[in-house]
Chains A and B, each alone.
Chain A
Amino acid sequence: MADMTIAGEFFRGIVKDNPVFALVLGLCPTLAVTTSVENAIGMSGAALFVLLGSNTIVSALRKQIPPITRIPMFIIIICTFVTIIDMVMEAYTPPLYEALGIFIPLIVVNCIIIGRAEAYANRNTVKFSIVDAFGIGAGFFVVLVAIGAIRELLGTGEIVLFDLKLISIPITPATFMILPGGAFMTIGVLMAMVNYNKIRKAKKGA
């Protein structure tokens, strides 16, 4: 991997290695908290913070961590950052903390973060690990906000962001989209669209 560039590594996290669509990791928070755009932003912000922290520490310590005990050590490193963000959000953004509920402590077991520690930070320098964290974090953010926007728009007829009404459309709100079923359907449709695009591209290349 001699020809790594910072921009290349960053965009790889958004498109080619998108955590949700390409790697199929971190599904639980993706579906659970995306009832509104605001929650989606809060969740991806928290995940980005933890990812950044864990990637940095793991790659800084990658020569010290013995391979055989690496997973427990990753989990403890991740858990430290989760505890920090958990306490910070409880103190400064109580409504968001309330809305995200148990999904904040559950960032510990988010496969995206431990997956990146194992697959990337453990093998690369601190600089690239930080870039990778930003890239993957941005990929996660894009997906969460997209799903959140679709569900909030169809489910309530408007998108409200920090008390600011962004868009409102004159439809009868389809409560179904806010319910769990809507989440599964949205991600199914989005995933099918991504697959369709991929297949079309592959055919064009061949």
Chain B
Amino acid sequence: MEDSLFSIAINGIFVQNFLLVQFLGLCSFVGVSKETKSAAGMSAAVLFVMIMASIASFLIYTYLLLPMGLTFLTTISFIIVIAFLVQLVEFIIRKYSPPLYRSLGIFLPLITTNCAILGVVILNARLDYGFVQSVFYGITAGLGYTMVMLLMAAIREKSNALKVPEAVEGLPHAFFITTLLSMAFVSYFQVIPT
């Protein structure tokens, strides 16, 4: 409850990194991280939806679900909020940046089913975070996601030139890179006392 903003930030970006430590949002991670450009677009969309969803879900949870004793509707109301926000982002991107819209392709509507976003709002509700903490957690989790996404895209672009056995090409290769990245992130456990 009394987590300071600093510890939330360190947690969100490094120690509890959504992709590498909590395994949230992996579908989009392996799907879109082939090029830096689409990775950046996807991360921006996720970051935006994550922040908006944190705000909206906090308001709904605190002022609607809790006082009325409707907490069993938590999951369903959160997912509806997220679906609505994703639709909004889709309209905006389609209007202002058609090339980005084309390169994000199928993954844009799939942000709705991106576990990272539903994960943030459910964690906010479970950890009893206040308004500022919720939004801050949304921002830092989104930043952590963006950072790993860009790192991964950069590594994958460079490693395209590598010659690997036929069976390892593609996904297994991506997973091996992720293993190394994840090992680096897990060692943050020891750096920061909880």
A-side interface residues toward B, CB under 8 Å? 24-29, 31-32, 71-72, 75-76, 79-80, 82-83, 86-87, 102, 105-106, 108-111, 114, 176, 179-181, 183-185, 187-189, 191-193, 195-196, 199
Contacts and interface: CB of A to CB of B under 8 A. Distances in A.
Which 5 pairs, one residue from A and one from B, show the smallest C-beta to C-beta distance?
A: A188-B175, A196-B167, A32-B23, A192-B172, A27-B26
Given A185-B179, A195-B172, A199-B167, A24 B30 contact: yes
A32 B72 CA distance: 24
Contacts of B2: none
B83 interface: yes
Contacts of A102: 119, 122-123, 126
Interface stretch (B51-59, B74-82, B95-103, B129-137): B74-82
B28 to A, nearest CB: 10
Contacts of B76: 76, 79-80, 83
Contacts of A179: 182-183, 186
B124 to A, nearest CB: 11
Contacts, number: 120
Contact of B72 (A24, A83, A109, A183): A83
Contact of B122 (A29, A106, A184): A106
Of A71, A102, A110, chain B has the most CB atoms within 10 Å of the CB of A102
Given A83-B75, A185-B175, A180 B23 contact: yes
A109 B115 contact: yes
B32 to A, nearest CB: 13
Contacts of A26: 27
Interface in B164-183: 165-176, 178-180, 182-183
29 contacts: A24-B27, A24-B30, A26-B27, A27-B23, A28-B25, A28-B26, A28-B115, A32-B23, A79-B75, A79-B76, A80-B76, A83-B76, A86-B75, A102-B123, A105-B122, A106-B119, A108-B75, A109-B112, A179-B183, A180-B182, A180-B186, A181-B180, A183-B23, A184-B178, A188-B174, A191-B175, A193-B167, A195-B168, A195-B172
Contact of B27 (A25, A79, A80, A199): A25
Of A72, A80, A187, A191, chain B has the most CB atoms within 10 Å of the CB of A191
B23 A28 contact: yes
A106 B182 CA distance: 22
Interface in B46-94: 72-76, 79-80, 83
Interface of B: 20-27, 30, 72-76, 79-80, 83, 109-110, 112-115, 118-119, 122-123, 126, 165-176, 178-180, 182-183, 185-186
Contacts of A185: 175-176, 179
A72 B179 CA distance: 35
A56 to B, nearest CB: 19
Contacts of B26: 27-28, 31
A33 to B, nearest CB: 9
Nearest to A78: B79
A39 B170 CA distance: 29
Contact of B21 (A71, A86, A180): A180
A26 B25 CA distance: 10
Of A25, A106, A114, chain B has the most CB atoms within 10 Å of the CB of A106
Contacts of B171: 24, 188, 191
